Chains A and B, each alone.
Chain A
């Protein structure tokens, strides 16, 4: 049972480059989330998708876009990466809104 998978695991970008972080879940969950984790800041919600076909901004959406491709997949795109976006990114899913969230292993992104 794979749960939540994320690709890539590590990425180094130069300022201004773009990239897409991929996330997929195989638990037939309705809701999916993207977080960033920075030292001393806990997890901050970037975007979430309460159900297939909907997306909403979280606490720190600036500089990011998302796509809920289908029920399984939820991608996060950085159009023009900035050093402030250096972080560890986690994708999560839950069966319904406030239920237990299941997390992926994370993507460590460095922007030079």
Chain B
């Protein structure tokens, strides 16, 4: 069965600093990979996704992520964090199987931004 691990429950950074959120997945083939963001009291919004092709993907709000098959990782990065980036971030993996699809989410990383 597929699984997703986000090793960091909380990350604290200063505004303007760079950011990297880690995500590791377990799946036999190349999965579909996603990063979502959730602001307090809101639903989730897609930041970026990887299906195939270039392993460095660009997303909204200046985020990017790199798929590394050898490390089973899909880490999210941003060169300069803004206070408005404070939110919960979820990595997700999806694998098609027999016409169905069961998405799996990580437990999330809470980003705290200090001024």
Whether A associates with B in a native complex is yes
Chain A residues close to B by CB (< 8 Å): 4, 31, 33, 35, 40-45, 48, 50, 56, 58, 90, 92, 97-98, 100-106
> Which B residue sits closest to A33, measured CB to CB?
B103
Secondary structure call for the B interface: strand
Chain B residues close to A by CB (< 8 Å): 9, 32, 34, 36, 41-46, 49, 51, 90, 94-96, 99-108
CB-CB under 8 A from A41, the residues of chain B are 107
**Which residue from B49, B94, B107 sits with its C-beta under 8 Å from A97?**
B94
Contact B43 A104 (CB under 8 A): yes
Contact B95 A98 (CB under 8 A): yes
Closest 8 CB pairs of A and B: A97-B101, A103-B43, A98-B94, A42-B107, A43-B105, A98-B32, A103-B44, A42-B105
